[in-house]
Amino acid sequence: MLLNTLTPGAALAILRGAAAALYALAEALLLVYSSHHYLTLWRCWRRRRTRPEDLAAAERGAAALPSVTVQLPVYNERRVVARLIDAAAALDWPADRLEIQVLDDSDDETRAIAAAAVARHRARGAHIVHLHREVRAGYKAGALAAGLERARGEWLAVFDADFIPAPGFLRRAARHFGDPDVGMVQGRWAHLNRDRSLLTAAQATMLDAHFLLQHEARASRRLFFNFNGSAGVWRRACIEDAGGWSHDTLTEDLDLSYRAQLRGWRFAFDPGLEAPAELPAEVAALASQQRRWARGSIQTARKLLPAIMRSALPLPVKLEALIHLTNNVGYPLMLVLALLPLLPLPVLLGPPGAPTALAPVLQATVVLLGVVPVMAFLAAGQLRAGRRGRVVVRDVLAGLALGAGLSLNNARAVLDGLRPEVGEWERTPKTGDGTPAPGPPRYRASRGLAGPGELVLALYFAGLAALAAGLGELRAVPFVALLAAGYGMVGWGALRDRLATGRATAARE
Protein backbone atom coordinates (compact mmCIF):
# COMPACT_ATOMS: atom_id res chain seq x y z
CA MET A 1 0.00 0.00 0.00
CA LEU A 2 2.83 2.40 0.85
CA LEU A 3 4.44 1.85 -2.55
CA ASN A 4 1.17 2.90 -4.24
CA THR A 5 1.46 6.38 -2.69
CA LEU A 6 5.02 6.94 -3.85
CA THR A 7 6.30 8.22 -7.14
CA PRO A 8 7.86 5.58 -9.42
CA GLY A 9 11.29 7.03 -8.72
CA ALA A 10 10.86 6.89 -4.94
CA ALA A 11 9.46 3.36 -5.06
CA LEU A 12 12.36 2.21 -7.19
CA ALA A 13 14.79 3.82 -4.76
CA ILE A 14 13.21 1.94 -1.84
CA LEU A 15 13.33 -1.35 -3.69
CA ARG A 16 16.95 -0.80 -4.66
CA GLY A 17 17.77 0.12 -1.06
CA ALA A 18 16.14 -3.05 0.23
CA ALA A 19 17.99 -5.08 -2.38
CA ALA A 20 21.25 -3.39 -1.36
CA ALA A 21 20.61 -4.17 2.32
CA LEU A 22 19.81 -7.82 1.58
CA TYR A 23 22.84 -8.02 -0.67
CA ALA A 24 25.12 -6.56 2.01
CA LEU A 25 23.79 -8.97 4.63
CA ALA A 26 24.26 -11.99 2.36
CA GLU A 27 27.76 -10.85 1.42
CA ALA A 28 28.75 -10.30 5.06
CA LEU A 29 27.51 -13.73 6.11
CA LEU A 30 29.17 -15.46 3.18
CA LEU A 31 32.46 -13.73 3.90
CA VAL A 32 32.28 -14.97 7.51
CA TYR A 33 32.01 -18.57 6.31
CA SER A 34 34.70 -18.12 3.65
CA SER A 35 37.18 -16.25 5.84
CA HIS A 36 36.84 -18.95 8.51
CA HIS A 37 39.21 -20.95 6.33
CA TYR A 38 41.95 -18.51 7.39
CA LEU A 39 41.34 -19.57 10.99
CA THR A 40 41.51 -23.23 10.01
CA LEU A 41 44.82 -22.67 8.22
CA TRP A 42 46.21 -20.80 11.23
CA ARG A 43 45.14 -23.58 13.57
CA CYS A 44 46.83 -26.15 11.35
CA TRP A 45 50.00 -24.07 11.31
CA ARG A 46 49.96 -23.78 15.08
CA ARG A 47 48.86 -27.30 15.87
CA ARG A 48 50.98 -29.44 18.07
CA ARG A 49 51.90 -32.69 16.42
CA THR A 50 51.30 -35.81 18.51
CA ARG A 51 54.65 -37.23 19.46
CA PRO A 52 55.23 -40.79 18.19
CA GLU A 53 56.06 -41.95 21.70
CA ASP A 54 52.64 -40.77 22.91
CA LEU A 55 50.85 -43.08 20.49
CA ALA A 56 53.30 -45.87 21.21
CA ALA A 57 52.54 -45.58 24.92
CA ALA A 58 48.80 -45.66 24.26
CA GLU A 59 48.91 -48.71 22.01
CA ARG A 60 47.93 -51.88 23.81
CA GLY A 61 49.44 -55.29 23.22
CA ALA A 62 47.64 -58.03 21.32
CA ALA A 63 46.62 -59.74 24.56
CA ALA A 64 44.68 -56.62 25.63
CA LEU A 65 42.89 -56.07 22.34
CA PRO A 66 39.11 -56.13 22.84
CA SER A 67 36.48 -57.69 20.63
CA VAL A 68 35.57 -55.68 17.53
CA THR A 69 32.43 -55.81 15.43
CA VAL A 70 32.89 -54.60 11.88
CA GLN A 71 29.60 -53.30 10.47
CA LEU A 72 29.10 -53.14 6.71
CA PRO A 73 25.79 -51.38 5.89
CA VAL A 74 24.82 -52.00 2.25
CA TYR A 75 21.80 -51.37 0.08
CA ASN A 76 21.75 -52.57 -3.53
CA GLU A 77 25.53 -52.60 -4.02
CA ARG A 78 26.01 -55.52 -6.40
CA ARG A 79 29.11 -54.00 -8.00
CA VAL A 80 31.15 -53.55 -4.81
CA VAL A 81 29.70 -55.68 -2.01
CA ALA A 82 31.96 -58.70 -2.60
CA ARG A 83 35.19 -56.70 -2.48
CA LEU A 84 33.96 -54.92 0.68
CA ILE A 85 33.35 -58.24 2.45
CA ASP A 86 36.71 -59.58 1.28
CA ALA A 87 38.50 -56.51 2.66
CA ALA A 88 36.70 -56.78 6.02
CA ALA A 89 37.58 -60.47 6.28
CA ALA A 90 41.26 -59.62 5.66
CA LEU A 91 41.50 -57.19 8.61
CA ASP A 92 44.39 -57.99 10.93
CA TRP A 93 42.82 -58.74 14.31
CA PRO A 94 42.71 -61.81 16.54
CA ALA A 95 40.17 -64.11 14.90
CA ASP A 96 38.42 -64.95 18.15
CA ARG A 97 37.81 -61.23 18.77
CA LEU A 98 36.68 -60.15 15.30
CA GLU A 99 33.05 -60.24 14.23
CA ILE A 100 31.76 -59.01 10.87
CA GLN A 101 28.15 -57.98 10.25
CA VAL A 102 26.93 -57.50 6.70
CA LEU A 103 23.90 -55.28 7.32
CA ASP A 104 22.15 -55.90 4.04
CA ASP A 105 18.93 -54.02 3.23
CA SER A 106 19.12 -54.89 -0.46
CA ASP A 107 16.17 -55.89 -2.60
CA ASP A 108 18.12 -56.93 -5.71
CA GLU A 109 20.84 -59.47 -6.55
CA THR A 110 23.19 -57.82 -4.02
CA ARG A 111 21.57 -60.03 -1.39
CA ALA A 112 22.64 -63.24 -3.13
CA ILE A 113 26.14 -61.93 -3.87
CA ALA A 114 26.62 -60.91 -0.24
CA ALA A 115 25.28 -64.22 1.05
CA ALA A 116 27.71 -66.15 -1.15
CA ALA A 117 30.68 -64.05 0.02
CA VAL A 118 29.67 -64.46 3.66
CA ALA A 119 29.35 -68.23 3.25
CA ARG A 120 32.77 -68.40 1.61
CA HIS A 121 34.50 -66.57 4.48
CA ARG A 122 32.55 -68.42 7.15
CA ALA A 123 33.80 -71.70 5.65
CA ARG A 124 37.32 -70.38 6.19
CA GLY A 125 36.64 -69.80 9.87
CA ALA A 126 35.62 -66.12 9.95
CA HIS A 127 32.98 -64.95 12.42
CA ILE A 128 30.73 -63.28 9.88
CA VAL A 129 26.96 -62.95 9.64
CA HIS A 130 24.61 -61.77 6.92
CA LEU A 131 21.73 -59.79 8.43
CA HIS A 132 18.88 -58.85 6.11
CA ARG A 133 15.95 -56.62 7.01
CA GLU A 134 12.77 -56.97 5.00
CA VAL A 135 11.70 -53.44 5.98
CA ARG A 136 14.34 -50.71 5.51
CA ALA A 137 13.17 -48.67 8.49
CA GLY A 138 15.48 -45.81 9.41
CA TYR A 139 17.70 -46.41 6.37
CA LYS A 140 21.40 -46.61 7.30
CA ALA A 141 20.86 -45.48 10.90
CA GLY A 142 18.22 -48.17 11.33
CA ALA A 143 20.54 -50.84 9.94
CA LEU A 144 23.39 -49.81 12.27
CA ALA A 145 21.05 -49.74 15.27
CA ALA A 146 19.70 -53.20 14.43
CA GLY A 147 23.23 -54.53 14.08
CA LEU A 148 24.27 -52.96 17.39
CA GLU A 149 21.60 -54.95 19.20
CA ARG A 150 23.25 -58.20 18.06
CA ALA A 151 26.89 -57.06 18.06
CA ARG A 152 29.36 -58.65 20.47
CA GLY A 153 32.16 -56.13 20.07
CA GLU A 154 33.39 -53.55 22.54
CA TRP A 155 34.45 -51.49 19.56
CA LEU A 156 32.49 -51.06 16.34
CA ALA A 157 34.10 -50.23 12.99
CA VAL A 158 31.88 -48.98 10.15
CA PHE A 159 32.69 -49.12 6.43
CA ASP A 160 30.42 -48.09 3.59
CA ALA A 161 30.05 -50.30 0.55
CA ASP A 162 32.67 -48.57 -1.62
CA PHE A 163 35.50 -48.69 0.95
CA ILE A 164 38.46 -51.06 0.95
CA PRO A 165 40.18 -50.82 4.35
CA ALA A 166 43.77 -52.01 4.55
CA PRO A 167 44.45 -55.07 6.77
CA GLY A 168 46.17 -52.92 9.41
CA PHE A 169 43.30 -50.44 9.81
CA LEU A 170 42.08 -51.73 13.19
CA ARG A 171 45.58 -52.11 14.59
CA ARG A 172 46.39 -48.47 13.89
CA ALA A 173 43.04 -47.21 15.20
CA ALA A 174 43.60 -49.16 18.42
CA ARG A 175 46.49 -46.86 19.36
CA HIS A 176 44.11 -44.02 20.13
CA PHE A 177 41.81 -45.98 22.41
CA GLY A 178 44.46 -46.13 25.12
CA ASP A 179 42.82 -42.88 26.26
CA PRO A 180 39.53 -43.93 27.94
CA ASP A 181 37.92 -40.60 26.99
CA VAL A 182 38.26 -41.30 23.26
CA GLY A 183 34.91 -42.47 21.95
CA MET A 184 35.61 -42.52 18.20
CA VAL A 185 38.61 -42.60 15.88
CA GLN A 186 38.09 -41.29 12.36
CA GLY A 187 40.31 -42.34 9.50
CA ARG A 188 41.06 -40.40 6.36
CA TRP A 189 39.27 -41.20 3.13
CA ALA A 190 41.71 -41.99 0.33
CA HIS A 191 40.54 -42.20 -3.28
CA LEU A 192 40.30 -45.21 -5.58
CA ASN A 193 39.44 -43.21 -8.69
CA ARG A 194 40.88 -39.75 -8.12
CA ASP A 195 42.30 -39.46 -11.64
CA ARG A 196 39.26 -40.79 -13.46
CA SER A 197 38.08 -37.30 -14.48
CA LEU A 198 38.22 -33.64 -13.57
CA LEU A 199 35.02 -34.21 -11.57
CA THR A 200 36.62 -36.84 -9.32
CA ALA A 201 39.83 -34.80 -9.03
CA ALA A 202 37.81 -31.80 -7.83
CA GLN A 203 36.01 -33.92 -5.23
CA ALA A 204 39.29 -35.38 -4.00
CA THR A 205 40.69 -31.87 -3.62
CA MET A 206 37.75 -30.80 -1.47
CA LEU A 207 37.84 -33.97 0.65
CA ASP A 208 41.59 -33.80 1.20
CA ALA A 209 41.25 -30.30 2.63
CA HIS A 210 38.30 -31.39 4.77
CA PHE A 211 40.14 -34.29 6.36
CA LEU A 212 43.74 -33.09 6.45
CA LEU A 213 43.00 -29.51 7.52
CA GLN A 214 39.55 -29.19 9.10
CA HIS A 215 39.60 -32.49 10.99
CA GLU A 216 43.18 -32.06 12.13
CA ALA A 217 42.62 -28.46 13.23
CA ARG A 218 39.46 -29.28 15.16
CA ALA A 219 40.85 -32.43 16.75
CA SER A 220 44.06 -30.74 17.87
CA ARG A 221 42.15 -27.87 19.50
CA ARG A 222 39.57 -30.16 21.19
CA LEU A 223 36.79 -28.70 19.04
CA PHE A 224 33.84 -30.75 17.88
CA PHE A 225 34.20 -32.64 14.62
CA ASN A 226 32.28 -35.55 13.19
CA PHE A 227 32.41 -39.18 12.24
CA ASN A 228 32.09 -39.16 8.44
CA GLY A 229 29.84 -42.19 8.19
CA SER A 230 32.60 -44.60 7.21
CA ALA A 231 36.22 -45.54 7.97
CA GLY A 232 35.83 -44.92 11.68
CA VAL A 233 35.92 -47.00 14.86
CA TRP A 234 33.55 -46.33 17.77
CA ARG A 235 33.72 -47.34 21.37
CA ARG A 236 30.42 -49.09 22.00
CA ALA A 237 30.00 -47.36 25.35
CA CYS A 238 30.20 -43.99 23.56
CA ILE A 239 27.37 -44.86 21.16
CA GLU A 240 25.15 -46.14 23.93
CA ASP A 241 25.91 -43.23 26.26
CA ALA A 242 24.99 -40.75 23.51
CA GLY A 243 21.61 -42.39 22.94
CA GLY A 244 22.43 -44.62 19.97
CA TRP A 245 21.80 -44.19 16.27
CA SER A 246 18.88 -41.96 15.32
CA HIS A 247 17.19 -41.48 11.95
CA ASP A 248 15.44 -38.15 12.59
CA THR A 249 18.02 -36.45 10.34
CA LEU A 250 19.61 -37.53 7.04
CA THR A 251 23.11 -37.29 8.56
CA GLU A 252 22.98 -39.86 11.34
CA ASP A 253 26.78 -39.76 11.59
CA LEU A 254 26.91 -36.01 12.24
CA ASP A 255 24.00 -36.21 14.68
CA LEU A 256 25.51 -39.00 16.80
CA SER A 257 28.94 -37.33 16.72
CA TYR A 258 27.65 -34.12 18.26
CA ARG A 259 25.48 -35.90 20.82
CA ALA A 260 28.48 -37.97 21.92
CA GLN A 261 30.77 -34.95 22.25
CA LEU A 262 28.08 -33.09 24.17
CA ARG A 263 28.26 -35.99 26.64
CA GLY A 264 31.99 -35.35 27.11
CA TRP A 265 33.50 -37.94 24.79
CA ARG A 266 36.59 -36.96 22.82
CA PHE A 267 37.14 -37.85 19.18
CA ALA A 268 40.48 -38.55 17.52
CA PHE A 269 41.53 -38.11 13.90
CA ASP A 270 44.49 -39.96 12.45
CA PRO A 271 45.62 -38.76 8.98
CA GLY A 272 47.69 -41.91 8.59
CA LEU A 273 44.65 -44.12 9.12
CA GLU A 274 43.57 -44.35 5.50
CA ALA A 275 40.77 -46.24 3.79
CA PRO A 276 40.50 -45.95 -0.01
CA ALA A 277 37.00 -45.30 -1.30
CA GLU A 278 35.22 -44.50 -4.54
CA LEU A 279 34.36 -40.95 -5.51
CA PRO A 280 31.06 -40.43 -7.37
CA ALA A 281 32.00 -40.51 -11.04
CA GLU A 282 28.72 -39.06 -12.32
CA VAL A 283 27.18 -35.68 -11.59
CA ALA A 284 23.79 -37.17 -10.70
CA ALA A 285 25.38 -39.42 -8.06
CA LEU A 286 27.41 -36.54 -6.64
CA ALA A 287 24.37 -34.26 -6.57
CA SER A 288 22.33 -36.82 -4.61
CA GLN A 289 25.17 -37.27 -2.12
CA GLN A 290 25.54 -33.51 -1.69
CA ARG A 291 21.80 -33.03 -1.23
CA ARG A 292 21.77 -35.56 1.60
CA TRP A 293 24.77 -34.01 3.31
CA ALA A 294 23.52 -30.42 2.98
CA ARG A 295 19.96 -31.15 4.07
CA GLY A 296 21.08 -33.38 6.93
CA SER A 297 23.54 -30.82 8.29
CA ILE A 298 20.80 -28.21 8.55
CA GLN A 299 18.50 -30.75 10.22
CA THR A 300 21.23 -31.55 12.73
CA ALA A 301 21.81 -27.85 13.36
CA ARG A 302 18.11 -27.35 14.07
CA LYS A 303 18.12 -30.34 16.38
CA LEU A 304 21.29 -29.76 18.39
CA LEU A 305 22.42 -26.14 18.19
CA PRO A 306 20.05 -25.00 20.97
CA ALA A 307 21.52 -27.59 23.35
CA ILE A 308 25.06 -26.68 22.29
CA MET A 309 24.49 -22.98 22.90
CA ARG A 310 22.87 -23.63 26.31
CA SER A 311 25.71 -25.90 27.41
CA ALA A 312 28.71 -24.97 29.55
CA LEU A 313 31.10 -25.56 26.65
CA PRO A 314 33.79 -22.93 26.03
CA LEU A 315 32.80 -20.16 23.64
CA PRO A 316 35.31 -21.21 20.91
CA VAL A 317 33.76 -24.70 20.88
CA LYS A 318 30.26 -23.24 20.52
CA LEU A 319 31.26 -20.87 17.74
CA GLU A 320 33.08 -23.58 15.82
CA ALA A 321 30.03 -25.85 16.13
CA LEU A 322 27.84 -23.04 14.82
CA ILE A 323 30.07 -22.53 11.78
CA HIS A 324 30.42 -26.27 11.21
CA LEU A 325 26.73 -27.18 11.39
CA THR A 326 25.50 -24.19 9.36
CA ASN A 327 28.31 -24.05 6.82
CA ASN A 328 26.02 -25.16 3.97
CA VAL A 329 24.06 -21.93 4.37
CA GLY A 330 26.82 -20.49 2.21
CA TYR A 331 25.21 -22.06 -0.88
CA PRO A 332 21.95 -20.06 -0.85
CA LEU A 333 23.98 -16.99 0.12
CA MET A 334 26.11 -17.49 -2.98
CA LEU A 335 22.99 -17.60 -5.12
CA VAL A 336 21.70 -14.40 -3.54
CA LEU A 337 24.94 -12.60 -4.32
CA ALA A 338 24.94 -13.87 -7.88
CA LEU A 339 21.31 -13.24 -8.78
CA LEU A 340 19.97 -10.42 -6.58
CA PRO A 341 21.74 -7.35 -7.98
CA LEU A 342 19.75 -5.20 -10.38
CA LEU A 343 22.96 -4.10 -12.06
CA PRO A 344 24.18 -6.38 -14.87
CA LEU A 345 27.46 -7.44 -13.28
CA PRO A 346 27.04 -9.12 -9.89
CA VAL A 347 29.37 -9.36 -6.92
CA LEU A 348 32.64 -7.95 -8.20
CA LEU A 349 31.16 -4.75 -9.60
CA GLY A 350 29.66 -3.91 -6.22
CA PRO A 351 26.16 -4.29 -4.73
CA PRO A 352 23.13 -2.42 -6.06
CA GLY A 353 23.12 1.25 -5.11
CA ALA A 354 26.69 1.30 -3.84
CA PRO A 355 28.73 4.45 -4.47
CA THR A 356 31.11 4.11 -7.39
CA ALA A 357 34.12 4.97 -5.23
CA LEU A 358 33.23 2.14 -2.83
CA ALA A 359 33.21 -0.54 -5.52
CA PRO A 360 37.00 -1.20 -5.51
CA VAL A 361 36.98 -1.62 -1.72
CA LEU A 362 34.07 -4.06 -1.89
CA GLN A 363 35.73 -5.95 -4.71
CA ALA A 364 38.98 -6.27 -2.76
CA THR A 365 37.05 -7.43 0.31
CA VAL A 366 35.27 -10.13 -1.67
CA VAL A 367 38.55 -11.37 -3.13
CA LEU A 368 40.59 -11.28 0.09
CA LEU A 369 37.91 -12.66 2.42
CA GLY A 370 35.83 -14.70 0.00
CA VAL A 371 37.95 -16.19 -2.78
CA VAL A 372 41.53 -16.23 -1.49
CA PRO A 373 40.85 -18.17 1.76
CA VAL A 374 39.00 -20.91 -0.11
CA MET A 375 41.76 -21.19 -2.71
CA ALA A 376 44.43 -21.25 0.01
CA PHE A 377 42.46 -23.87 1.93
CA LEU A 378 42.17 -26.18 -1.08
CA ALA A 379 45.79 -25.64 -2.09
CA ALA A 380 47.08 -26.32 1.43
CA GLY A 381 45.07 -29.53 1.50
CA GLN A 382 46.74 -30.68 -1.70
CA LEU A 383 50.19 -29.83 -0.41
CA ARG A 384 49.40 -31.65 2.83
CA ALA A 385 48.37 -34.67 0.76
CA GLY A 386 51.77 -34.64 -0.94
CA ARG A 387 50.73 -33.33 -4.33
CA ARG A 388 52.90 -30.82 -6.16
CA GLY A 389 53.20 -28.94 -9.43
CA ARG A 390 50.69 -27.70 -11.98
CA VAL A 391 48.22 -30.43 -11.12
CA VAL A 392 47.60 -28.64 -7.81
CA VAL A 393 46.59 -25.45 -9.63
CA ARG A 394 44.30 -27.39 -11.95
CA ASP A 395 42.62 -29.32 -9.15
CA VAL A 396 42.17 -26.24 -6.93
CA LEU A 397 40.47 -24.37 -9.76
CA ALA A 398 38.33 -27.44 -10.46
CA GLY A 399 37.39 -27.63 -6.78
CA LEU A 400 36.41 -23.95 -6.76
CA ALA A 401 34.32 -24.38 -9.89
CA LEU A 402 32.62 -27.51 -8.60
CA GLY A 403 31.75 -25.84 -5.29
CA ALA A 404 30.13 -22.96 -7.19
CA GLY A 405 28.40 -25.30 -9.61
CA LEU A 406 26.78 -27.26 -6.79
CA SER A 407 25.34 -24.14 -5.15
CA LEU A 408 21.90 -24.41 -6.77
CA ASN A 409 21.57 -28.12 -5.94
CA ASN A 410 22.77 -27.61 -2.37
CA ALA A 411 20.79 -24.41 -1.79
CA ARG A 412 17.59 -26.33 -2.47
CA ALA A 413 18.73 -28.99 0.00
CA VAL A 414 19.45 -26.35 2.67
CA LEU A 415 15.94 -24.94 2.30
CA ASP A 416 14.52 -28.46 2.50
CA GLY A 417 16.48 -28.92 5.72
CA LEU A 418 14.40 -26.18 7.31
CA ARG A 419 11.22 -28.19 6.79
CA PRO A 420 9.97 -30.61 9.47
CA GLU A 421 10.00 -33.65 7.16
CA VAL A 422 13.17 -35.72 7.34
CA GLY A 423 13.00 -36.75 3.69
CA GLU A 424 14.28 -39.78 1.84
CA TRP A 425 17.81 -41.04 2.44
CA GLU A 426 19.22 -40.93 -1.12
CA ARG A 427 21.86 -43.54 -1.71
CA THR A 428 24.94 -42.74 -3.76
CA PRO A 429 25.22 -45.46 -6.44
CA LYS A 430 28.66 -47.05 -6.77
CA THR A 431 30.27 -47.83 -10.11
CA GLY A 432 32.89 -50.28 -8.88
CA ASP A 433 35.81 -48.04 -9.88
CA GLY A 434 39.04 -49.68 -8.88
CA THR A 435 37.69 -53.19 -9.52
CA PRO A 436 39.36 -54.92 -12.49
CA ALA A 437 36.22 -56.75 -13.63
CA PRO A 438 33.50 -54.55 -15.15
CA GLY A 439 30.77 -56.21 -13.10
CA PRO A 440 27.00 -56.05 -13.63
CA PRO A 441 25.17 -52.99 -15.01
CA ARG A 442 25.47 -49.80 -13.02
CA TYR A 443 22.77 -48.34 -10.86
CA ARG A 444 21.04 -45.16 -11.84
CA ALA A 445 21.45 -42.18 -9.56
CA SER A 446 18.46 -40.21 -8.38
CA ARG A 447 18.05 -37.53 -11.03
CA GLY A 448 16.65 -34.91 -8.68
CA LEU A 449 16.68 -31.42 -10.20
CA ALA A 450 20.36 -31.07 -11.06
CA GLY A 451 21.09 -30.11 -14.64
CA PRO A 452 18.67 -27.70 -16.38
CA GLY A 453 18.95 -24.90 -13.82
CA GLU A 454 22.73 -25.12 -13.80
CA LEU A 455 22.85 -24.90 -17.61
CA VAL A 456 20.71 -21.77 -17.57
CA LEU A 457 22.98 -20.20 -14.96
CA ALA A 458 26.06 -21.21 -16.93
CA LEU A 459 24.74 -19.38 -20.00
CA TYR A 460 23.76 -16.40 -17.85
CA PHE A 461 27.21 -16.02 -16.32
CA ALA A 462 28.97 -16.69 -19.63
CA GLY A 463 26.98 -13.78 -21.05
CA LEU A 464 27.91 -11.61 -18.08
CA ALA A 465 31.58 -12.47 -18.55
CA ALA A 466 31.38 -11.42 -22.20
CA LEU A 467 29.54 -8.23 -21.24
CA ALA A 468 32.12 -7.41 -18.57
CA ALA A 469 34.93 -7.88 -21.06
CA GLY A 470 33.13 -5.70 -23.59
CA LEU A 471 32.67 -2.91 -21.04
CA GLY A 472 36.32 -3.07 -20.07
CA GLU A 473 35.54 -4.41 -16.58
CA LEU A 474 38.22 -7.08 -16.85
CA ARG A 475 38.56 -7.46 -13.08
CA ALA A 476 35.08 -9.02 -13.00
CA VAL A 477 35.75 -11.57 -15.74
CA PRO A 478 37.68 -14.24 -13.75
CA PHE A 479 35.06 -14.51 -11.00
CA VAL A 480 32.07 -14.54 -13.35
CA ALA A 481 33.84 -16.97 -15.69
CA LEU A 482 34.49 -19.28 -12.72
CA LEU A 483 30.76 -19.30 -11.94
CA ALA A 484 29.98 -20.04 -15.58
CA ALA A 485 32.51 -22.89 -15.60
CA GLY A 486 31.15 -24.36 -12.36
CA TYR A 487 27.53 -24.32 -13.42
CA GLY A 488 28.56 -25.58 -16.84
CA MET A 489 30.49 -28.48 -15.28
CA VAL A 490 27.50 -29.59 -13.22
CA GLY A 491 24.83 -28.85 -15.83
CA TRP A 492 26.62 -30.42 -18.78
CA GLY A 493 27.74 -33.37 -16.67
CA ALA A 494 24.17 -34.08 -15.58
CA LEU A 495 22.94 -33.85 -19.17
CA ARG A 496 25.72 -36.11 -20.43
CA ASP A 497 24.97 -38.68 -17.73
CA ARG A 498 21.28 -38.69 -18.68
CA LEU A 499 22.11 -39.23 -22.34
CA ALA A 500 24.54 -42.04 -21.50
CA THR A 501 21.96 -43.71 -19.25
CA GLY A 502 19.34 -43.45 -21.99
CA ARG A 503 21.64 -45.04 -24.54
CA ALA A 504 22.58 -47.86 -22.16
CA THR A 505 18.92 -48.54 -21.37
CA ALA A 506 18.01 -48.62 -25.05
CA ALA A 507 20.89 -51.01 -25.78
CA ARG A 508 19.76 -53.44 -23.03
CA GLU A 509 16.19 -53.37 -24.29
Q: Which residues are annotated as catalytic? A: 105, 253
Other C-beta atoms closer than 10 Å to the C-beta of 377 total 23
**Residues 480 and 465 sit within 8 Å (Cβ to Cβ):** yes
Q: Cα–Cα distance between 18 and 352 in angstroms, integer?
A: 9
**Residues 157 and 187 sit within 8 Å (Cβ to Cβ):** no
DSSP 465: H
- Listed residue (293, 326, 328) closest to 309, CA to CA: 326
What three-state secondary structure class fits 347? coil
348-354 long-range contacts, CB within 8 A, separation 24+: 348/475, 348/476, 348/479, 348/480, 349/468, 349/473, 349/476, 351/20, 351/23, 351/24, 351/27, 352/16, 352/19, 352/20, 352/23, 353/16, 353/17, 353/19, 353/20, 354/20
- Using CB atoms within 10 A of its CB, is residue 370 exposed (0-12), middle (13-18) or buried (19+)? buried
Compute, in degrees rounded to 10, the torsion defined by CA atoms 286, 292, 298, 303: -150
- Give the DSSP H/E element, type plus range, for residue 98: strand 98-104
* Strand ranges of the sheet holding 98-104, from the earlier edge strand across to the other edge: 127-132, 98-104, 68-74, 155-158, 232-235, 182-191, 266-277
- Listed residue (197, 196, 202, 194) closest to 486, CA to CA: 202
- Cβ-based neighbours of 384, under 8 Å, separated by 6 or more: 44, 208, 212, 213
DSSP 279: P
What three-state secondary structure class fits 330? helix
Alpha carbon of residue 149 to chain centroid:
28
Instruction: Identify any residues that bridge with 155 across adjacent strands, giving them in sequence order.
Output: 68, 235
Dihedrals phi, psi of 268, to nearest 5 degrees: -120, 145
- Cβ-based neighbours of 347, under 8 Å, separated by 6 or more: 27, 337, 338, 341, 366, 476, 479, 480
- Listed residue (88, 57, 55) closest to 71, CA to CA: 88
Q: Where are the beta strands (DSSP E) in 133-265?
A: 155-158, 182-191, 232-235
Q: Cα–Cα distance between 472 and 464 in angstroms, integer?
A: 12
